[in-house]
Structure 1
Amino acid sequence: MPPKEAWTLHALGWFGDDDTVRALAPVIRSWPGEGAHHRAVEGLDVLAAVGTDSALLHLHGISQRVRFKALRQRAQEKIAEVAEGLGLTGEQLADRLVPDLGLDADGSTVVDYGTRLFSVGFDEALEPYVRDAEGRRLKDLPKPGARDETELATAERKRYLALKKEVRALAADQVRRLEAAMVDGRSWTGAEFRQLFVEHPLVRHLARRLVWSVARDGAATAFRIAEGRGCVDARGALVTVDDDATVTLPHPLRFPGRTDVWSELLADHEIVQPFPQLRRQVHAATEREAAGARLTRFEGVTVPVGRLLGLQKRGWERGIPQDAGVERWFHRRLGPECHLVVQLEPGIAVGMLDEFPDQTLDTVWLDTHPGDHRPSRARPLRFADLDPVTVSELLTDLTELTARN
């Protein structure tokens, strides 16, 4: 597409629909790697112009998870513009954009072959599974047979395959959003909690596998969502969640009660969590580390570059390429003027990851901004001033990164 023909791309924003969005979104994600960053940015404008819930959800997904930093930042700006127009934050908007995919109120759907019926449910990772009319779990939805109503069964199987594809595109982001909400300490009103989690046909499959907390008049109570959509505590007693109550998804360090009791309870009910909550690793800085800005215990450790890049899924970012196109640091943004910076040696060669397959964590420290320099000057930041959950999550990331196989 020559630049002078860019109108053809923008026309998708005028006439496109959700099918257009599903085809366009993965292409936008790949364009920067093909030397078409500007075209990718125009693609973000197209998603915003289509404006459907699906389009905005894909736009938000790009703003959170795409390996090209410039495109991700532009998508964040775009989603912030849309959210501001609605009086919401970007995450609040994302909460409201998750499609119900035509599922029934209980979060399932029935596939009708005319002579046979199958029910579709979802596991802890939102992976669909199928049961036959007798309740037996099948490996997958069978193909229509000779005794089925051909036209109906063919259409129903096509609908099921489309559902699987849509859920696959949504699942990882939904799990990630809930885990991030737990770490960040996000909260919802009781009314929002019911609308966005308890009553949502798709998200409820994740929500009912987690333990929540409701606060009212200074007291917090842990609870889970029962099968009948009611909320119950660890003893099975009904928990009232008023519309104006504050609901959170507590991290173990903020948990109101004993996580081991809840772990046993969920195990008894054969409930698998979508991500580690109750059994999540918890770490703390040493007294010496808390008083300063360095994490020397991780310095000098060499790790494979692939494992290092895996941190990007947890919010870490690659540094700006320096001389010869080498990225010499990795960092995680903790606040407007607070970053955990990891100096790399020899650094990551842009576009040639195999050039330096092993990276040494030369220096690990807190700074007001990431940059290619060493922490030689006095620094006002201390680990003691950070939230304990933030410190625990950082130490978990670095512990897993540097673990010996």
Structure 2
Amino acid sequence: MTEDDRRWPDPHATETVRKFLRRHRRAVDTILTSARLDGLNELADAAAEYAAAPEGPCSPEAAAVIFAIAQHAAVAYRTGAQREREFIDRFVDSWMIEHGHDFVTAVAEARRGVRVEDPDPRAGRMTPWLRLAAADEDASAVDEALARRVRDRLGVVDEEGASRVVTEPKSITTDQIRRFEAAMVDGRRWRAAAHRRVVLEDPALGQLARRLVWARFDDRGTVVGTFRIEADRSLIDVAGGPVELPDDALLGIAHPIHLGDSIDAWRNSLADNRLRQPFEQLTRPTYALTAAESESTILHRFTDRQVRTDRLFALQELGWEVTREALYRRFSPTREVTVALDPGLEGGYRYEPDRQRILSVELRGGTFGVLDAVTASELILQLERLAA
């Protein structure tokens, strides 16, 4: 599975699907009209409802029909394997966010039984038309494209000798742990409904989510509550009481700075339930800027600190760019931290000096006080570990 396969679903996928279906509405209507003439009224009506509102209640069969029509209608826009994957991913991401992982696998299975055929004037077919495949009919590469992509994205596989899709338990990977840690550090947020579908219903991510403390945020980013996830996917607070969330609640992995005085109670809660955290959350060191640092563009605490050269390259996994003279980390379109080095890198790891000296740590685009508390803490933590 590639890095692209493991990415988070695009939060704008449903809007992209909706725009695509509006653009190809004539093709969708033509094929669904033909299906009604062939007696497939119930399926056509359900498919029309999905096409009008991809985010609304619908059956996997209806979504499979619309996806098959979309594949047929958009063939001129897909050139090459990469474009094909991007096209399929728009629908897969939308299904994951709006309807959940089980829905995605059900659509992939239903798609194998749907065919969109080209016009055949000799048979009286003047427009593209829809038919249902026979049980023993072999699927074409186009028919199988969705199932293959779902296997790549969700860890879904074919049973040997069977023409259907089933979900297998997935093991937790280092990459998934790293993505969750990055979500905590970078402030990744989910709406509660999407969180249930994308995280809790995923076999591997659901396991990870149970071992972390989560927070609910208001629209200004202020923590208004914290909770953890039980094995049955119910939510409880630090005292063990039930937590109910509306679908539009804003959720994220709590940084220790968010937990304040409750952090010791949360440590005890996870210890009592024998939940071992996948990365540093409740034991994570935190740092704060001094008043002078908040008003400055230079982080003087690191000036003249010595660092091991081999540690510089590990920062690339945390979003840093390593160049000959310096390290760079962008925190917004207008704010970038530069760590100037001496003597600098020579272009080949085996030829580099063992140690570098930090000449300065400087923020472009404002003083360090413009960084929020979590960002400032993580910046200092990364540089402290670099210079340890």
Aligned to 1:348: 345
For the 8 Å contact 2:300–2:360, the answer to whether it is kept is yes
Task: Report the 3-state secondary structure (helix = DSSP H, G, I; strand = E; otherwise coil) of the residue aligned with 1:203.
Answer: helix
Larger-gyration structure (1/2): 2
- For residue 47 of structure 1, report the CA deviation from its aligned partner: 6.0
Aligned residue-pair number: 252
Identity of paired residues, percent? Answer: 34
Deviations 1:208-263 (A, max 9, x none): 10111235798722111101111111122111122122222121222376111001
Give the Cα separation in 2 of the matches to 1:365 and 1:100: 42
d(CA) in 1 for partners of 2:349 and 2:286?
Answer: 35
> Are residues 228 and 361 of structure 1, via their aligned partners in 2, closer, same or farther at CA, if it must alter by over 3 Å?
same
Distance 1:101 1:279, change over 3 A: same
Q: How does 1:6-405 map to 2 (within 5 A)?
A: 48-51=82-85, 99-102=153-156, 171-215=173-217, 220-255=224-259, 258-319=262-323, 327-368=324-365, 381-403=366-388
Contact 1:100 1:202 survives alignment (8 Å): no
Taking the aligned partners of 1:178 and 1:234, their CA distance within structure 2 comes to 21
Displacement of 1:354: 2.5
Q: Residue type matched to 2:85 in 1?
A: G
Amino acid in the other structure paired with 1:171: T
CA drift of 1:352 comes to 4.1
Contact 1:318 1:329 in 2 (8 A): yes
Distance 2:256 2:82 in 1: 38
Q: Match for residue 122 of structure 2?
A: none
Shift of 1:101: 2.4
1:155-175 deviation line (CA, Å, top 9, x unaligned): 9xxxxxxx99x85xx722222
TM-score, normalised via structure 2 length: 0.57
Cα contact 1:198–1:204 (8 A) shared by 2? yes
AA of the residue aligned to 1:224: R
Q: What is the rounded CA distance, in whole Å, between the counterparts of 2:264 and 2:367 in structure 1?
A: 32
**Preserved CA contact (<8 Å) 2:312 2:322:** no
Measured at CA, do residues 352 and 223 of structure 1 come closer, stay the same or move farther in structure 2, by a change above 3 Å?
closer
Name the SS for the 1:294 alignment partner: coil
5+ unaligned residues in a row in structure 2: which ranges? Answer: 7-78, 98-103, 105-149, 162-167
Say if 1:210 and 1:224, in contact at 8 Å, map to a contact too. yes
CA shift at 1:386, angstroms? Answer: 1.2
Check 1:387–1:47 CA distance in 2 against 1; reply closer, same or farther (3 A cut). Answer: farther
- What do the CA deviations read for 1:38-57 (whole angstroms, capped 9, x no partner)? xxxxxxx966235179x97x
Write the distance in 1 (CA, Å) between the matches of 2:349 and 2:207: 41
SS at structure 2 position matched to 1:349: coil
3-state secondary structure, aligned to 2:248: coil
Letter in 2 for 1:337: T
| Offset, 1:181 | 1.6
Q: Which structure would you say has the larger RCO, counting Cα contacts within 8 Å and 6 or more residues apart?
A: 2
The aligned amino acid for 1:367 is R
Aligned to 1:126: none
In 1, Cα distance between equivalents of 2:310 and 2:341: 14
Question: 1:363-403 deviations in whole A, cap 9, x for unaligned?
Answer: 111124xxxxxxxxxxxx21111111111001001111111
Aligned residue type for 1:332: R
RMSD after superposition: 3.7
Secondary structure of the structure 2 residue equivalent to 1:260: helix
Superposition deviation, residue 351 in structure 1: 3.0
Alpha-carbon displacement from aligned partner over 1:269-302 (angstroms, at most 9, x marks no partner): 1111111112211101122111101112211122
> Is the CA contact 1:332–1:339 (under 8 Å) kept in the aligned structure 2?
yes
Structure 1: gaps spanning 5 or more residues: 1-17, 26-44, 57-81, 90-95, 104-151, 156-162, 320-326, 369-380
295-304 vs 223-232, greater mean Cα deviation: 295-304
Larger mean CA deviation between 308-317 and 203-212 belongs to 308-317
Deviations 1:159-209 (A, max 9, x none): xxxx99x85xx7222222211221222221111111111111111111110
Whether the 8 Å CA contact 2:299–2:361 is kept in 1: the answer is yes
C-alpha distance in 1, partners of 2:291/2:343? 31
Does the 8 Å CA contact 1:211/1:223 hold for their aligned counterparts? Answer: yes
Contact 1:222 1:256 in 2 (8 A): no
Q: Which runs of 4+ in 1 moved over 3 A?
A: 96-100, 215-219
- Normalising by structure 1, we get a TM-score of 0.55
Is residue 223–residue 258 contact of structure 2 (8 Å, CA) maintained in 1? no
User: In the alignment, what sits opposite 2:45?
Assistant: none
Answer yes or no: is the 8 Å Cα contact 2:308–2:386 preserved in 1.
Answer: no
Q: What amino acid is the match of 1:360?
A: R
- Tell me whether 252-261 or 394-403 shows the greater mean CA deviation: 252-261
Partner Cα separation in structure 2 for residue 215 and residue 357 of structure 1? 44
What is the CA deviation profile of residues 61-110 of structure 1, one whole-angstrom value per residue up to 9, with x for unaligned ones? xxxxxxxxxxxxxxxxxxxxx79x97x99xxxxxx98844249xxxxxxx
CA distance in 1, matches of 2:215, 2:378: 20
Matching residue's letter, 1:241: L
Distance 1:301 1:215, change over 3 A: closer
Q: Which amino acid aligns with 2:336?
A: H
